[in-house]
Amino acid sequence: MTPKNNIIIGIIVALVIVASYNVDANPIEFAEGLPNLAIVVEEMLSVEPKYVPTALWAMFETIQMAFIGTVVGTAIALPLSMFAARNLNSKYVYAPVRALLAAIRTLPSILWAILFVIMVGLGTFAGVLAIVMYTIGFVAKLQYEAIEAIDSDPVDAVSSIGVSKLQLIRYVVIPESASHLLSQILYMFDYNVRQTSILGLVGAGGIGFYIINYIKFFEYGKAAVFMLVVLATVLIIDWVSVKIRDKYIVKSQHGMEVRAK
């Protein structure tokens, strides 16, 4: 450890202390508040099993919302990513598309949900639209970065044959960038299920609607049922997407031998 590093660490620690003072982040208050948490936990432990079917149904609704949002969002994002890739377009095409995508990403999904609740009213549809917007912003960004990272040799060689841009995309760009795509869609779905679970906070449907309302009425036992269902679902989706990734994505990596079964 050099003296220079010590100084940098000292400065960072000092900044954390000053910032904590400014925003009233007081560790003593945290310690004093712990007994309150115990009360909540105690109430949560009195789980009411008769709400499990409702919770499962609400979760199913949430997953469907996330599914539609992911599929529709990706379907819109893919063509946009082709226009946003710097190695396929002139500046006059990719710059505005990128600006649009950046603007879409600026809003977190919960703010999109508020906007859509205003637009189409309370309910699951507003939530679906919010997830669509969020997915467009992120999948398009991940995908245009994947397109820009593809090997330029086949792009140059195939361009020199005199193929059209659509043909180039179909035969070089999509095959060379698709190995990332499945992985990205899985990640996005996984993430969207979690996000959709909280969209109910602003009245955009899904399981979050139940959680926020039970918490508002201090019915922690009922809220706990719904939260446990979310936790279990997220763990299951995580496990399933790891399996899918292992099966389809690792195999398609370049140079890996594919074992015959």
Which residues contact another protein (rule: CB under 8 A)?
151, 153-164, 166-167, 170-172, 175-176, 178-179, 252, 254-255
Least spacing, CB of residue 82 vs another protein, in Å? 13
How many CA atoms lie less than 13 Å away from 74 in the CB half-sphere? 18
CB 78 within 8 A of CB 218: no
Token digits for 70?
């992911």
Of residues 82, 101, 80, 79, the one with CA closest to residue 148: 82
- Which of residues 22 and 160 has its CB atom nearest to another protein in the complex? 160
- Which of residues 52 and 163 has its CB atom nearest to another protein in the complex? 163
- For residue 2, give the 3-state DSSP assignment: coil
- Which of residues 3 and 162 has its CB atom nearest to another protein in the complex? 162
CB 63 within 8 A of CB 193: yes
- For residue 189, give the 3-state DSSP assignment: helix
- Which of residues 243 and 251 has its CB atom nearest to another protein in the complex? 251
Measured CA to CA in angstroms, residue 102 lies from 185, 190, 251 at distances of 19, 22, 33
CB 87 within 8 A of CB 176: no
Least spacing, CB of residue 259 vs another protein, in Å? 13
Token digits for 200?
């109910």
- Which of residues 180 and 194 has its CB atom nearest to another protein in the complex? 180
d(CA 146, CA 99): 18
Least spacing, CB of residue 155 vs another protein, in Å? 8
What does the DSSP assignment read for 117-162?
Answer: HHHH-SSHHHHHHHHHHHHHHHHHHHHHHHHHTS-HHHHHHHHTTT
Least spacing, CB of residue 85 vs another protein, in Å? 17
- Which of residues 29 and 153 has its CB atom nearest to another protein in the complex? 153
Least spacing, CB of residue 160 vs another protein, in Å? 5
Least spacing, CB of residue 256 vs another protein, in Å? 9
Least spacing, CB of residue 179 vs another protein, in Å? 7
CB 120 within 8 A of CB 88: no
- Which of residues 6 and 170 has its CB atom nearest to another protein in the complex? 170
